[in-house]
């Protein structure tokens, strides 16, 4: 996060140890809370505009969170980040998070394109787990976006992690997390097999619903596999705008 102005968020305390008992922690988190408001406002505007334009509801649900102090400290420890405010600010880019739940797989790329193309938004990082799922079957489209936050005496550009996924992807991810939390990461093989089957079923559901939607909207067109050719082109177009020549794998 870069700061326009002479003072960092915590002034001379910026090199002090970051602890959950720090008296200025609320001030540290304030720009992240504001950045969430900025991004969710952008999402809400897109929802209204797209719904009015074509009667389709691409965004079904939006949730957000700011990491707790304990969560920030835990991640800093895991990645070997020094426990200072400046180091945490520079190295932990998902303190603020927004999740957008879409109805269809194509909507995830559509929303990502629209948000990342706005003039005051800077794309820091893209991880496409829809086209390239994690080994456990997790699917979602992740971006780190940097947004301007206008405070009383300065403008701060604040990173926000944006996750965009379908309803089926979100349901699977939530259940997978609950399984691992319940079994404290020692998940019985039977449940791992069920999760594997479930992620494939969720993927097939997304394909079927996308194909059905495409055929209803344009019944005379020839429709490729929905999570196939045209989605791959959407992903490559999105990635190539920010990393020319690097291709779709990030």
Please tell me the distance from the alpha carbon of residue 155 to that of residue 64, in angstroms, as a whole number.
22
Query: Is residue 125 exposed (0-12), middle (13-18) or buried (19+ Cβ within 10 Å)?
Result: middle
Residue tagged active-site, from 161, 184, 200, 232 = 161
Check if the beta carbon of residue 96 is closer than 8 Å to that of residue 56: no
**Which 3 state secondary structure label does DSSP give 159?**
strand
Check if the beta carbon of residue 185 is closer than 8 Å to that of residue 127: no
Q: Which helix (H) or strand (E) holds 128?
A: strand 122-128
Please tell me the distance from the alpha carbon of residue 143 to that of residue 127, in angstroms, as a whole number.
6
- Could you confirm whether 146 is annotated as catalytic? no
Tell me which residues are annotated as active site. 161
């Amino acid at each position: 996060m870069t700061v326009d102005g002479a003072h960092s968020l915590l002034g001379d305390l910026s090199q002090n140890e970051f602890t959950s008992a720090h008296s200025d922690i609320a001030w540290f988190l304030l720009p992240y809370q504001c950045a969430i408001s900025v991004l969710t406002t952008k999402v809400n505007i897109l929802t209204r505009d797209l719904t009015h334009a074509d009667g389709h509801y691409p965004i079904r649900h939006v949730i957000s969170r700011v990491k707790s102090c304990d969560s920030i400290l835990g991640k800093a420890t895991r990645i070997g980040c020094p426990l200072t405010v400046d180091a945490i600010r520079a190295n932990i880019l998902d303190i603020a998070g927004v999740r957008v739940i879409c109805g269809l797989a194509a909507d995830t790329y559509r929303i990502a394109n629209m948000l990342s193309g706005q003039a005051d938004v800077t794309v820091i990082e893209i991880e496409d787990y829809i086209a390239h799922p994690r080994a456990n079957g997790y699917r979602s489209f992740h971006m780190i976006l940097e947004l301007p936050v206008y405070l009383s005496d300065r403008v701060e550009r604040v990173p926000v992690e944006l996750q965009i996924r379908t309803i089926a992807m979100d349901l699977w991810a939530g259940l997978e997390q609950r399984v691992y939390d319940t079994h404290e990461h020692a998940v019985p093989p039977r449940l791992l097999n069920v999760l594997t089957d479930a992620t494939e079923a969720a993927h097939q559901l997304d394909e079927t619903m996308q194909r059905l939607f495409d055929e209803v909207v344009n019944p005379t067109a020839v429709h490729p596999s929905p999570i196939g050719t045209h989605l791959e082109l959407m992903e490559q177009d999105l990635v190539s705008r920010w990393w020319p020549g690097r291709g779709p794998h990030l």
